[in-house]
Amino acid sequence: MTPGLLALDFDGVVCDGIDEMVESAWRTLVEVTGREIPAARRAELHARFSALRPAIESGWEMVLLLGALTERAAAEDAALRDGARWAEARDAYLRAHALAPGPIAAALDAVRVRWLANDAPGWLARHRFYDGIAAWLTRLVAERWIVYVISTKSKPFLDALLEWQKVPLPSDRVIGRAEPKRDKWDVLRGLAASHGLGTRDVWFVEDRLATLLDLRRHAPDFAAARLFLADWGYVFRDRDPAAARAAGIAVLNLPQATGPFEQWGVPG
């Protein structure tokens, strides 16, 4: 069995940009709050942020996560692994600092745009494509598979990173953040229809389990689509793969992903 349309999340599936995320979130946090963070805390906050990265969905939340961690004891971090508890902490930080998601997202994009414009090599170097992914994508494009990258990251950043790795994915196959926001299943539904395919022909690889579960819950027409949790991405490894299997979602590892589709396995 092979996909009619293969869609990949970007952060945590194609690329590990945790170093850039922390630095951009750091710069944005200082800008929107006007509060300096002691440089001596960089290593500590980087480690704590990395451990909790699977809890968040959108870029603007990274700024709030870093901000919340500066005001919380490390012993309290485990509670933020729960989606509801993270949402409470995020919203409490917004209220306490009179912030709003829209301006934070705009400030984060502006920070990244300035960094990329002023120091493109430095910005790019804070990213790492997962082993074998760039070559695999290049091969899929050459073999004319229908492949899309779908992300909540702004498209210019996606384009810059794919170009840096010499992945010749056509620009219209790279779907970045939309305004107003569209759910990924809505995007996938439209892409499948544009190629004359049904949702049963869609294979979707995502590292955020909540996104896959939401797709199952809110898009029943995707019941026949093949969903995969990328276990090499931003996942809570002690719980997410098992929870995915329990929900009938296949768990994919990196060697499988870059190998033949016939070896991708089945849910369960």
Specify the pairing of strand 250-252 against strand 128-129.
unpaired
Q: What is the pLDDT of residue 1?
A: 84
Task: Report whether CATH 3.40.640.10 matches the domain 5-16+129-263.
Answer: no
pLDDT at position 221: 87
Q: How high is the pLDDT of residue 268? A: 36
Q: How far apart are CA 106 and CA 96, in angstroms?
A: 20
Token pair 């991708």 is at which residue?
264
pLDDT at residue 164 in the model: 98
Q: How far is CA 122 from CA 29, 117, 212, in A?
A: 20, 10, 33
Residue 147's Cα: distance from chain center in Å?
17
Q: pLDDT of the chain along its 268 residues, tens only? A: 899 999 999 999 999 999 999 999 999 999 999 988 899 999 999 999 999 999 999 999 999 999 999 999 999 999 999 999 999 999 999 999 999 999 999 999 999 999 999 999 999 999 999 999 999 999 999 999 999 999 989 999 999 999 999 999 999 999 998 877 888 999 999 999 999 999 999 999 999 999 999 998 988 888 899 999 999 999 999 999 999 999 999 999 999 999 999 989 754 3
Q: Which of 219, 267, 265, 224 is nearest to 245 (CA)?
A: 267
DSSP string, 205-258: EES-HHHHHHHHHH-GGGTTSEEEEETTSS--TTTHHHHHHHTT-EEE-HHHHT
In the chain, which segments carry CATH 3.40.50.1000? Answer: 5-16+129-263
Q: Which two tokens stand for residue 165?
A: 């790795």
